[in-house]
Amino acid sequence: MIQTLLVYLLLLFIMVFLTSLSAKYNDEEGSYLFKNFLNGPVIFSIILFSVIFGMRYNVGIDHLSYLKDYEELKLYHISDQRYELGYVFVANLFANLSLHYSIFFTFLAYIQIFFLFLAFKNYRDVLPFVVMTFILGCVFLTFMNGMRQQIAFCIFVFSIEYIRSKKLIPYFVLIFLAFLFHKTAIILLPLYFLFQFKGFHFQNIKVQLILLILALIILYINVFENLFNSLDVLINLFGYDKYIDLIDKDDSLLNSLDRGRGVGFYIILMIDVILIANSNNVKSYFKDTIFPIIYDLYFFGVVYGYITNGSNLLSRPNDYFFGFKFIVAAFSLLYYFRRKDSGKRDKALFYILLGLYVLTFAGVMFRMKENTAFFTFFWQVG
């Protein structure tokens, strides 16, 4: 337990400190302390994260499956046909060199965090807050479990800038790269065209809150249970076929019969309500950034996420939408932080939102022996 908290908290403080250095702006000179975004502090943050999580063991069921497949690839040189070409290429490259799986996982973690950080090269002020919500929100726990899809997600985050700047070819190239790691990325192609329509952004707060309430009602009455049970075709299409056999053993993979929720669920809900209720102010402040686009993606993910809450399988595609929550929260925190002297409300919202993220982190760490939060280095196994 002490080791787990020490690793995560040190990682949090070091990465926030380093990314803050990169975001430091000199008003007198009119330039950042480091002119180039990929400077020493940022690169060290990326490497530090990659090495720490490359060396971690037993992140989750998927992580152990990847580990097993990689070890078999080194022995028998036979690739799993379920995996995409990009992942297979990287796995074969490392396996042919007989490199330890921790080095292979370090490289995959590097790809993830590199593209995630690169998405904020033009918005470096928000990067320290991205690190905060990423770690305090325990988002990082999923990254080295669903490795392939999280790589696709991070590439997608980076591609949002090309939606904003209306550059079709770079966007499609990046989505194709994401597709090479996880075929579900194909659903992201139409998004470029959707965001070219003026006024597409969600703006009516009351309507959004009503949709959130409807999603919660659907969550509790579970009206889609029969529909969910007929999705075998889509499951196969998007590469989740390995779960079909498991569904027969564990129905909760497809739909959860237990829709009861504890304190953690309501903390997460409170964060969503705060982000939605104050979204127009944050959108207006960051109107010339990627924030309006990522907020729309996030809000869609909120509605879909609560409808399918409890289904491990159906929630997977939502990583591309609800996965933006920690980024929306980061922009919101930066907004409240900059406006902390403008009124008690903004100052209070900053501390409330940050406090809810701290509570989220504390709740996950309190149950670290029951979930995937417990940190074990690979050399500590056995």
pLDDT digits 0-9 by tens, 289-308: 999 999 999 999 999 888 87
Question: Rounded to two decimals, what is the model's pTM?
Answer: 0.88
Angstrom distance (rounded) from CA 144 to CA 70? 14
pLDDT at 20 over 70: yes
Q: Are 45 and 15 in contact (CB under 8 A)?
A: yes
Which pLDDT score is estimated for 24? 77
Structure-model confidence comparison of residues 111 and 256, the more confident one: 111
Which pLDDT score is estimated for 253? 44
Identity of the residue numbered 55: M
Q: Which of 43-47, 138-142, 229-233, 255-259 has the highest mean pLDDT?
A: 43-47
Which pLDDT score is estimated for 234? 54
Angstrom distance (rounded) from CA 154 to CA 161? 12
pLDDT at 172 over 90: yes
Segment 60-67 shows an average pLDDT of 85
Q: What's the pLDDT band for 257 if we cut at 50, 70, 90?
A: very low
pLDDT at 232 over 80: no
CA nearest to 295, candidates 283, 311, 277, 310 = 283
Identity of the residue numbered 88: V
Which pLDDT score is estimated for 246? 47
Which pLDDT score is estimated for 365? 85
Q: Are 145 and 47 in contact (CB under 8 A)?
A: no
Q: Is 232 left (phi over 0), alpha (psi -120 to 50) or beta?
A: alpha
Percent of the chain with pLDDT over 90: 50
When the pLDDT of each residue in the chain is averaged and rounded to a whole number, the result is 84
